[in-house]
Amino acid sequence: MRILSGLGPVFPLLLATAVLSVDPAPSPTDPKDFAAVDFDFIVIGGGTSGLVVAERLTENPSVVVGVIEAGEYRPGDPLILIPGSSGPAVLGVNSQNSSNLQNNPIYDWRFESTPQPNLDGTQIRYPRGKVIWQRASGVEYDLWESAFKNPGWNFANMLPFFKKVENWTPPNFLNPGMVSSQALRNAHGTSGPVNVSYNTYRPTTEVPCVEAGNDLGLVSSSDPDSGNGTGLILQARNVNPVTGFRVYAGPAYFEPHVSRPNLKLVSSALVTKINFASGHGSLTAVSVDYVSNNVTYTAKASKEIILAAGTIQTPQVLELSGVGNKTLLSSLGIKTLLDVPLIGENLQDHPVTYSDFEVDDGILTLDDLSFNATFANDAIQGFNKSATGPLSYTAGVIGPSTMQSLTASAAEFKTLMTTLSQYVETTKPKTPLHAAQIKASQDALNAGKIAWIELVMEPLGGIVSVPAVNTSYMTVVSILLHPFARGSVHIQSSDPTVAPLIDPNFMDNAFDIQALIRSSQFTQRMVALTNVTKGPNSPSASVQSDADFDTYIREHTGSTAHPLGTMAMAPQEMGGVVDSHLRVYGLKNVRVVDASIIPFTLSTAIMQTVFAVAEKAASIIQQDNHI
Ligand X SMILES: *[C@@H]1O[C@H](CO)[C@@H](O)[C@H](O)[C@H]1NC(C)=O
Ligand Y SMILES: Cc1cc2nc3c(=O)[nH]c(=O)nc-3n(C[C@H](O)[C@H](O)[C@H](O)COP(=O)(O)OP(=O)(O)OC[C@H]3O[C@@H](n4cnc5c(N)ncnc54)[C@H](O)[C@@H]3O)c2cc1C
Q: CB–CB of 390/204 below 8 Å?
A: no
Between the alpha carbon of residue 382 and those of residues 5, 84, 173, 312, the distances in Å are: 29, 13, 18, 38
Cβ of 524: how many Cβ atoms within 10 Å?
Answer: 18
375 belongs to the binding site for ligand X (CB under 6 A): yes
Which of ligand Y, ligand X, none interacts with 167 (beta carbon under 5 to 8 A by kind)? ligand X
What is the pattern of x (binds ligand X, CB under 6 A) and - over residues 467-506? Answer: --xx------------------------------------
Decide if residue 463 touches ligand Y (CB under 6 A). Answer: no
Burial class of residue 541 (count of CB atoms within 10 Å of its CB; 0-12, 13-18, 19+) = exposed
User: CB of 566 within 8 A of CB of 315?
Assistant: yes
The answer to whether residue 93 forms part of the interface with ligand X (CB under 6 A) is yes
> Could you give the CA distance from residue 113 to residue 234 in angstroms, rounded to a whole number?
32
229 binds ligand Y (CB under 6 A): no
208 binds ligand X (CB under 6 A): yes
Q: Which of residues 246-275 bind ligand Y (CB under 6 A)?
A: 270-271
At residue 104, what are phi and psi to the nearest 5 degrees?
-105, 120
159 near ligand X, judged by CB under 6 A: no
320 vs 380 by CB, closer to ligand Y? 320
In this chain, which of 172, 327, 540, 544 binds ligand X, going by CB under 6 A? 327
The phi and psi torsions of 278 (rounded to 5 degrees) equal -85, 105
Rounded Cα distance, 3 and 128, in Å: 16
Give the contact letters, 126-145, x = binds to ligand Y (CB under 6 A), - = no. Answer: -xxxxxx-x-----------
271 assigned ligand-binding residue? yes
* 572 counts as binding ligand X under rule CB under 6 A: no
Cβ 130 vs Cβ 108: under 8 Å: no
- Among residues 37, 595, 618, 621, the one that binds ligand Y under rule CB under 6 A: 595
What binding mask, one character per residue, do residues 277-316 give for ligand Y by CB under 6 A, x or -? -------------------------------xxx--x---
What binding mask, one character per residue, do residues 384-413 give for ligand Y by CB under 6 A, x or -? Answer: ------------------------------
Cβ of residue 601: shortest distance to ligand Y, in angstroms?
11
Question: Which contiguous run of DSSP H or E holds residue 517?
Answer: helix 510-530
SS3 600: coil
Q: Which of 188, 490, 556, 562 is catalytic?
A: 562
DSSP, residue by residue, 381-422? HHHHHHS-SGGG----EEEEE-HHHHSSSHHHHHHHHHHHHH
581 carries an active-site annotation: no
The residues pairing with 264 across neighbouring beta strands, listed in sequence order, are 66
Q: Whose CA is closest to 36, among 321, 300, 400, 324?
A: 300
> Considering CB distances under 5 to 8 angstroms, the limit depending on partner class, which of ligand Y, ligand X, none binds residue 605?
ligand Y
449 binds, among ligand X, ligand Y, none (CB under 5 to 8 A by kind): ligand X
DSSP per position, 131-163: -B-----HHHHHHHHHTT--TT-SHHHHHHHHH
Report the interface residues with ligand Y, using CB under 6 A: 6, 44-50, 68-71, 127-132, 134, 270-271, 308-310, 313, 317, 561-562, 594-595, 605-608, 610
| Residues at the site binding ligand X, with contacts judged by CB under 6 A | 12, 18-19, 93, 97, 99-100, 167, 195, 208, 211-212, 219, 221, 228, 230-231, 240, 247, 251-252, 294, 325, 327-328, 341, 345, 371-372, 374-375, 378, 380-381, 384, 449, 469-470, 529-531
User: Residues at the annotated binding site?
Assistant: 48-49, 131, 271
Instruction: Give the residue numbers marked as catalytic.
Output: 562
